[in-house]
């Protein structure tokens, strides 16, 4: 199953995958709600490829809900967002691998096979970074962001995308109080002084990822 709100990119991935002798795309969805409805209506993919930035529910929320429907469903994140800042949070949210959209097709195929084999897929660079961090215990600049919980990271992403607390609460089916608590925790962990500082930081961070 492919889940991405960019139809042209989704169809391109489908063509690429369908050329493989041992693979076939059985379903495509343009947003999280559509994907969840397909799973609840009996679509049973061996693996889901999805972005973390979707129009309705965020990818992290969709993954959690997918595992509520099919607990052991493997999910491979395919995203434009930088692996260094997003992969760890995707894994925490239940993903089994992370591939950036800039990678060539053969990398995507290798990642799909790796996840279907029951393994975790990350790039060699990301594996090396994580092993180095585990071996040395040295702090990296991105560790501040990596200290966020998946829910906090999700809120940071949405704040940087221009959503208000009310809109985030509706999008994630959470109370405004819960979202405000997440925003407070994010400011504390990232050493940001107030809400305006958080919005400025989140907006610049999102711009950096998209650049």
Q: CA 51, CA 209: separation in Å to the nearest integer? A: 14
Question: Domain limits at 38?
Answer: 2-132
| pTM (2 d.p.) | 0.69
Integer CA distances (angstroms), 122 to 33, 80, 85, in order? 27, 14, 13
Region 156-185: what's the mean pLDDT? 89
Region 157-162: what's the mean pLDDT? 86
Looking at the structure of the chain, the number of domains it has is: 2
State whether 58 and 107 are in the same domain. yes
CA angle 94, 142, 151 (to 5 degrees): 35
State whether 24 and 111 are in the same domain. yes
pLDDT of residue 147: 78
State whether 163 and 195 are in the same domain. yes
Residue 127: count other Cβ atoms within 10 Å of its Cβ.
12
Q: What percent of the chain shows pLDDT beyond 70?
A: 88
């Amino acid at each position: 199953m492919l889940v991405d709100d960019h139809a042209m990119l989704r169809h391109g991935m489908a063509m690429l995958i369908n050329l493989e002798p041992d693979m076939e795309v059985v379903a495509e969805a343009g947003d999280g709600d559509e994907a969840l409805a397909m799973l609840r209506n009996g679509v049973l993919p061996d693996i889901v490829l999805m972005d973390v930035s979707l129009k309705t529910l965020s990818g992290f929320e969709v993954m959690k809900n997918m595992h509520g429907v099919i607990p052991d469903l493997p999910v491979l994140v395919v995203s434009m967002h930088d692996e260094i800042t997003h992969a760890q949070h995707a894994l925490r949210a239940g993903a089994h691998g992370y591939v950036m959209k800039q990678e060539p097709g053969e990398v995507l195929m290798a990642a799909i096979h790796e996840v279907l084999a029951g393994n975790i897929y990350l790039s060699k660079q990301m594996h090396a970074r994580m092993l180095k961090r585990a071996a040395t215990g040295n702090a990296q600049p991105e560790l501040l962001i990596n200290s966020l919980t998946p829910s906090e990271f999700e809120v940071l992403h949405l704040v940087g995308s221009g959503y208000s607390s009310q809109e985030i609460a509706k999008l994630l089916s959470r109370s405004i109080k819960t979202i405000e608590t997440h925003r407070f925790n994010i400011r504390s962990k990232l050493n940001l002084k107030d809400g305006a500082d958080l919005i400025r930081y989140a907006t610049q961070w999102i711009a950096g990822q998209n650049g």
